[in-house]
Structure 1
């Protein structure tokens, strides 16, 4: 919905194309794409084997591997490498390794696509700002700076990618944005509920205080018409 019905922005060869999903998680994207493009082969990789291990499209294969240590697929294997929603777990060095691994895996002329949401909330109210400031503080001890998603294009250029471009999508946070805003708000609230102990520790407050803060945030997003930004960063491996 956010990206106008697109599941991907870069071209995929329709006959015997090869696509890697690095950090595939439960593999929702991978299986959606494999179902849509039955003549393309998809490989999902994740350090945690939460992807389907028995029932999945025939043109999907999954591997439990750590992309930061290099995966077992050979050099120049894939036409497209895709990655989404890894920013809250990646340090700057992790990003460099991941982008270098994508470059290694791609055939000459192949494309890398990264899709990440910015933790920052625009037009945020005071409780929203407190929630996300505590989230940033909770990431700091692990050397994670979520704002790096705004500069992935520079990291791609440094890794050797060409034709690098960034597409930005503004996502409404709250009921003011209709169905999309409601769904995005549900997503954000679920994340905040999951990380509540970390927010409490980072802000030196109780989990009950975090709950109050999140509830107040849920109310004020409508008044402030808050939104977040998703960055789609694309880059192509040179042909020669």
Structure 2
């Protein structure tokens, strides 16, 4: 069972959130044209996924690399859903990276961490990066996939929601702008060949072809996740529930009117 003081995650841990995270996984897999962006070795011996959530990403990696031992680590097992036919090369472990990773130095050929900025206090990121690097073998790769506060071409409703999100985050010591500085943090921890890629996606069914499909997926993801912050916004920030509902109801139309976009970050490097 996760202790409240260990869990900084602002969103619920339930079946609805499990479905949303899996939906988000499909979006990112399509956006990145695969599961891994870093140019890792074609036959890694071991892979670690920190903050694995539902376990969808590491299990799909385990299927793709059947001879590779893949470990998914997370605070809580409640979101885990084992895929049909998954082999013995995937293992879930419960743990909190803020307490240190439960692995010896240089244990993995590739270490992956995705979308944890909303669950890690900003002051802890240097520690987190050092732990990820510590368990990576020499010549192995570390990859961080994140999404911060980078909304582009937004209207007043999105700006209002973003201000609530930033205020809520601050109450827990979270600063999503850290995603823009992950490259230097990796370099300070001894990682070489550091590269940061950004992916700007339309929010909603804008444009044509794949961009339109991905934008529609992104809007659905946001509209499934954002309403879960209604309670915290009301309880912590004293936001009237009617005002929150008004903002939620107008977001989709506003994104299309302003041609809004959202940015994902992928930062990777080699030890």
| TM-score category, normalised to shorter length | over 0.9
Unmatched tracts of structure 2, length 5 or more: 1-29
| 1:157-184 deviations in Å (ceiling 9; x for gaps) | 1111111110110111112152111110
- Select the residue among 215, 222, 242 that pairs with 1:181: 215
The separation in 2 between residues aligned to 1:52 and 1:203, in whole angstroms, is 34
* Gap change, CA 1:204 and 1:233, over 3 Å in 2: same
Provide TM-score, normalisation by structure 1.
0.93
Q: Separation in 2 of the partners of 1:143 and 1:16?
A: 36
CA distance in 1 between partners of 2:156 and 2:132 (Å):
39
Q: 2:122 aligns with which of 62, 82, 92?
A: 92
In the alignment, which residue of structure 2 is the partner of 1:121? 151
From 169, 188, 192, give the equivalent of 2:226: 192
In the alignment, which residue of structure 1 is the partner of 2:59? 31
Partner SS for 1:176? coil
Partners of 1:53 and 1:188 in 2: CA distance: 25
Secondary structure, counterpart of 1:24 in structure 2? coil
Query: Residue deviations 1:96-135, cap 9 Å, x none?
Result: 1211111110111111000001223110011011011111
SS at match of 1:19: strand
By how many angstroms is 1:52 displaced? 3.8
The answer to whether the Cα contact below 8 Å between 1:21 and 1:83 also exists between their aligned partners in 2 is: yes
Distance in 2 (alpha carbons) for counterparts of 1:208 and 1:7: 40
Superposition pairs for residues 95-114 of structure 1, below 5 Å? Answer: 95-114=125-144
TM-score, normalised on structure 2?
0.82
Question: Which of 196, 212, 224 is the matching residue for 2:246?
Answer: 212
C-alpha separation in 1, matches of 2:237 and 2:216: 27
**Residue 171 of structure 1 pairs with residue 201 of structure 2:** yes
Q: Is the 8 A contact 2:52 2:74 kept in 1?
A: yes
Return 162-171 or 51-60, whichever deviates more. 51-60
Q: Distance in 2 between matches of 1:205 and 1:65?
A: 34
| Aligned equivalent of 1:80 | 110
The runs of at least 4 aligned residues of structure 1 exceeding 4 Å deviation read none
SS of 2:152's equivalent in the other structure is: coil
Residue 18 of structure 2: aligned partner: none
